[in-house]
């Protein structure tokens, strides 16, 4: 049996942390230590992505707004007759507007190795746009011994408690071997395996599903092991396409605010919590109402054109239809963060220490 003592322990006050802190803190970045797990992009390679993936997404987007046939749009995009920057600009606008069907046409396949069964139980809950094949504990007999994951909180716990944990895990794996030697089928002997047992998977996901999964699992509130897995997945996608990889980010980055109930105190400062956003919005509205209605002029007012404009429009030889203008600015929660004190945040907490160099999107360095 192999125990991995490289797992991180969350900071004091964070979910799963030990000790008593006065306030919560961002859990330690799981990328700081080697957990013994890997994510390797099997398909596509960089050449395929650069040549076909962006043109394919562009074709799906452009088909919705063009009289041209899809094959002609695709041919022109692949041949370079359409500026790649123009293709990316259209794709970015479509993605950010929420029209995700256009990015379901491209997929990424990963080999995921050495993760715990605790992680895989979380991972396979993602179903739409994702396919999994996992190492079977029924058909694999683990004659060389199964390996396990050791959480950092347990590794750094009281030595006596750590020893009891290791004895429990080792005892379960030893019993598994004895059951096999006694003729018990592997499909029954496996019942003694702990959730810490490592496993391997192949996962294929379309880009829309991958963005959704990353939004949840890159969040600092996510469980440390699966958070690390998606840091590695993001790095793999970024290596073949920095443009597409840039969309893999915590969900708060796209939303402009955090919607996690456990972050109402904003101990994770990537984005302000939505409760505070809405409170600031309500406070601004109250201040505007307390100042009274804006002054209206003869030329135009906040509810439409002035009297002079109406008379002119109603005069002979002119149309009586007058366009109505609304001069009061709209305030939306997704735009609020740019005016907050957190607007200068320059790093995705939990995405730092990534191999492959600096990665950025929207002015946020990771």
Rounded Cα gap, residues 48 and 51, in angstroms: 5
From 117, 208, 217, 227, the catalytic residue: 217
Strands (E), 251-349: 300-301, 304-305
Write the Ramachandran bin of 348: left for phi over 0, alpha for psi from -120 to 50, otherwise beta: beta
Rounded Cα gap, residues 257 and 338, in angstroms: 10
Query: Among this protein's residues, is 217 annotated catalytic?
Result: yes
Rounded Cα gap, residues 232 and 228, in angstroms: 6
Structure tokens at 237: 């996608």
Write the Ramachandran bin of 318: left for phi over 0, alpha for psi from -120 to 50, otherwise beta: beta
Q: Which helix (H) or strand (E) holds 40?
A: strand 38-43
Q: What's the sign of the alpha-carbon dihedral 167, 169, 172, 175?
A: negative
Nearest to 365 by CA among 334, 341, 344: 344
State the catalytic residues.
217
């Amino acid at each position: 049996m192999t125990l991995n003592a490289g797992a991180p322990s969350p900071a004091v006050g964070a979910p799963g942390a030990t000790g008593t802190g006065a306030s919560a803190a961002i859990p330690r970045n799981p990328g700081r230590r080697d957990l013994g797990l890997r994510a390797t992009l099997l398909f596509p390679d960089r050449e395929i992505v650069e040549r076909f993936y962006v043109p394919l997404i562009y074709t799906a987007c452009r088909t919705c707004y063009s009289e041209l046939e899809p094959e002609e749009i695709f041919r022109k995009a692949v041949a370079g007759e359409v500026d790649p920057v123009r293709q990316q600009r259209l794709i970015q606008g479509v993605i950010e507007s929420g029209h995700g069907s256009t990015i379901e046409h491209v997929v990424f396949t990963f080999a995921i190795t050495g993760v715990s069964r605790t992680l895989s139980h979380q991972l396979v809950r993602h179903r739409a746009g994702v396919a999994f094949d996992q190492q079977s504990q029924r058909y694999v007999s683990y004659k060389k011994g199964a390996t396990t994951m050791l959480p950092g909180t347990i590794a750094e716990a009281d030595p006596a408690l750590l020893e009891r944990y290791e004895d429990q895990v080792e005892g379960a794996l030893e019993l598994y071997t004895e059951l096999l030697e006694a003729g018990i089928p592997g499909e029954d002997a496996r019942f003694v395996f702990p959730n810490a047992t490592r496993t391997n998977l192949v996962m294929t996901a379309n880009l829309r599903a991958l963005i959704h999964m990353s939004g949840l699992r890159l969040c600092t509130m996510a469980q440390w092991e699966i958070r690390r897995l998606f840091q590695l997945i993001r790095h793999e996608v970024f290596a073949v396409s920095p443009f597409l990889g840039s969309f893999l980010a915590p969900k708060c980055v796209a939303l402009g605010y955090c919607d996690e109930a456990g972050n109402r105190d904003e101990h994770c400062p990537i984005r302000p919590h939505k409760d505070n956003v809405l409170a600031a919005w309500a406070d601004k509205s109250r201040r505007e109402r307390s100042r009274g209605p804006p002054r209206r002029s003869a030329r135009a007012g906040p509810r439409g054109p002035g009297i002079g404009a109406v008379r002119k429009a109603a005069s002979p030889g002119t149309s009586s239809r007058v366009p109505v203008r609304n001069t009061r600015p709209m305030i939306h929660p997704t735009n609020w963060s740019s005016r907050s004190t957190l607007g200068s945040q320059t790093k995705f907490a939990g995405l730092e220490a990534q191999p492959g160099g600096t990665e950025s999107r929207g002015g946020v360095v990771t």
